[in-house]
Each structure stands twice: as C-alpha cells, then as structure tokens.
Structure 1
C-alpha cells in the first residue's frame, strides 16, 4: 500500500481517491477490512482527522462501511459502483467533447462510429 500526495487537491480528497483506486484495482477486495484511521495517520504522518474525513467520503459514496467496534470494511458492490461512476465520468469528460469536436469538423455519426471502430481494430494505439 503506497500513497502519494501533492498540492493538486486537499489531502483528504487525495487519500479518498487513492483508496478508491485501491478498491477498484482489487488491493482492497470487497468485504476486506481497510487500515484504521490511526494506522493510516501514523504510517502517512498526517492528522487522524484528515484521514477520517477522507474515509468518510468513501462511506458517503457507499464504498466503505463502518462496523461498530471492528473498523471499516469495503462494502459489497463497491467495485461496481466505482466502475459506474467512472463510466459516467468517461462519458462526460471524453464522449461529450468528442461529439462537440466531431460536430465542428462536420463528422457524421456514422463516420465517427467508423473512426472509433478503426481505433479498436488498430489496437487502440495507432492513429
């Protein structure tokens, strides 16, 4: 488990984002207990309140659940919730802007679909 922090966002948000990625990648499988607030704050040398704020974001997003007296655990269905959130983000961040640019270039829907198919056929990496 490795965390990296920078100045791009508040530490609690970066912690939540990185823990979300760990859940998504399977480092923290569904049903598994995650490190405690105390463990993380000591290991990362950050304020326990900051860690708790980040973890509470994950609770609010239904990715972690608190079990009284036991700690926090990855909630069942967390990976699927992350996937759905990221799909919607992909649509908003990429598809919408792709369609706007295609419209400016007068690329029809059929032509755009053929370009996307060509991208898949070329292994997604060639122009």
Structure 2
C-alpha cells in the first residue's frame, strides 16, 4: 500500500481511494478481510478516526461490510462496482471532452475511432 500524500484532498478520501485501488487490482479480493482502522492509522501515521472515515465511506458505498467481532470485509461485487464507477468517471473526464473537441474540429466519429486505433496500436 502506498502512503497518503498531501495532494489537497482529505486524507480519509485518499485512504478510501487506496483501498479501492487494492480492490480493483485484486490485491484485496472480494470476501477478503480489509485492513483495520488501527492498521491503516499505523501504516500511514494518521489519526485512527481519519482511517475510520475512509473505511466508513467504503461501507456507505457498499464496498465493505462488517462481520461483528471479526472486522471489515470486501463485499461481493465490489470490484465490478468500482470498475463501472471508474469507467463512467473516465468517460466524463476524458471521452466527453474529446468528442466535443473532435466535433469542433470537424472530426467525425469514424475518423476519431481511426485516430484512437492508430494511437493505441503497439506495433
């Protein structure tokens, strides 16, 4: 796990995002035990309440659930839910402005697809 950094966003959101990244990349698989609040706080050298806020965000989003007396676990379907959410965010942040600019430049959909295929070609 990478440490939090001062990027202007609240630390609890950075903690939540790092846990999300671990779910997406499979290092924190579905139905596995998530790090505890104290583990996160010690690792990142932050207040346990801040770490708890990050975990609670993921609980509120339905990505983690609590097993009483055992800890927090990754919910079934969490990875797919995160992938869908991030794909949508990617489309809003990158694809929508790309399409708007392409239209402004007179680039039709087929030419835009060809441009993307050319840039994405590894050969």
Q: When the two structures are superposed, what TM-score results if normalisation uses the length of structure 1?
A: 0.88
Name 2:19's counterpart in structure 1. 19
Name 1:92's counterpart in structure 2. 92
Is 1:78 paired with 2:78? yes
- Displacement of 1:90 in angstroms is 1.3
| Cα distance between partner residues in 2 of 1:45 and 1:95 | 37
- Displacement of 1:3 in angstroms is 2.1
| Cα distance between partner residues in 1 of 2:34 and 2:110 | 47
Q: CA RMSD in A?
A: 1.5
- Displacement of 1:102 in angstroms is 0.3
Structure 1 stretches (4+) deviating beyond 6 angstroms? none
- Displacement of 1:86 in angstroms is 1.0
Unaligned stretches of 5+ residues in structure 1: none
| Cα distance between partner residues in 2 of 1:2 and 1:118 | 34
Unaligned stretches of 5+ residues in structure 2: none
Name 2:39's counterpart in structure 1. 39
- Displacement of 1:45 in angstroms is 1.9
| Cα distance between partner residues in 2 of 1:94 and 1:35 | 32
Instruction: Tell me how many residue pairs correspond in the alignment.
Output: 123
Q: When the two structures are superposed, what TM-score results if normalisation uses the length of structure 2?
A: 0.91
Name 2:50's counterpart in structure 1. 50
| Cα distance between partner residues in 2 of 1:113 and 1:88 | 19
